[in-house]
Amino acid sequence: MSRVNMTDNIKVKSRKLFTNKDLESEDDSAKRLRAREILERLQKRFPNAKIALKYNNSIQLLVAVILSAQCTDKKVNEVTNSLFRKYKTARDFASASLAVFEREIHSTGFFRAKARNIIAACKTIDSRFKGKLPKTMAEMLTLPGIARKSANVILGNAYGVVEGIAVDTHVIRISQRLGLTKFSDPVKIERDLIELIPQNKWFGATYKIIEHGRNICDAKKPKCSLCPLKDICPSAFNLSNWE
């Protein structure tokens, strides 16, 4: 179907709100069209969406991503501002004193597990990968503390290698609200999104959805009246979906 027809189709639907009943009767191809329309609108609203973590090289990116678990990107950037002046390479992190490193990253929370994982991951990178961040999902998943979400973020930003869609807390919540998935497990949500979103949009989709989550589709108080997706979202103005 041409892009013009696709947009027309969505516009026809858009004259009223898209309800849960519409969602129930939506087939795979209609859902794919709606997913594309969602991304196009988010692209218009958030054209510059990108990773918010700051880093100077791929090893520091890996460290920042591990630190960002259960922590805001703002806090991680505050901590890494000085941390990354001291530690730059995999060997720098691999040789860190655990006790000192725990103190240095303390304010990001879960500091014991994070320190252990960062040092162990960098030891693996230093010994098995000659100090260079691996380039494949399979290799990334051998690193301590790295699951698919982190691997997707790191590979995409470090190398432009896109093997999937990074599913964080915003992507989970918004995919569910938009009726793009029924699952809560990130791996299953990623599988659903991969079916709905064209591969060349996988990388950008994460950051547009995250910006949307931060600015409009808040976890507790979504601003549906300001939302560019309100006519194609089954949760729009539906309080029961927010509790």
The contact set with ligand SF4 (CB under 6 A) reads: 177-178, 216-217, 222-224, 227, 229-230, 233, 235-236
Tokens for 167?
């599913």
Q: How far is the CB of 128 from ligand SF4 (least distance, A)?
A: 43
By C-beta, is 103 or 223 nearer to ligand SF4?
Answer: 223
In the complex, least distance from residue 49 CB atom to ligand SF4, rounded to whole angstroms? 15
Report yes or no: 189 and 181 within 8 Å, Cβ to Cβ. yes
Q: How far apart are CA 21 and CA 13, in angstroms?
A: 13
Nearer to ligand SF4, 114 or 173 (CB): 173
Minimum distance of ligand SF4 from residue 20's CB (angstroms): 12
Please state the closest distance from residue 211 (CB atom) to ligand SF4, in A: 12
Residue 209 exposed, middle or buried by CB count within 10 Å (0-12, 13-18, 19+): buried
**Which of 77, 241 has the CB closer to ligand SF4?**
241
CA distances from 149 to 140, 144, 182 (A): 11, 14, 18
> Whose Cβ is closer to ligand SF4: residue 85's or residue 221's?
221
Residues 156 and 192: their CA atoms lie apart, in Å, by 19
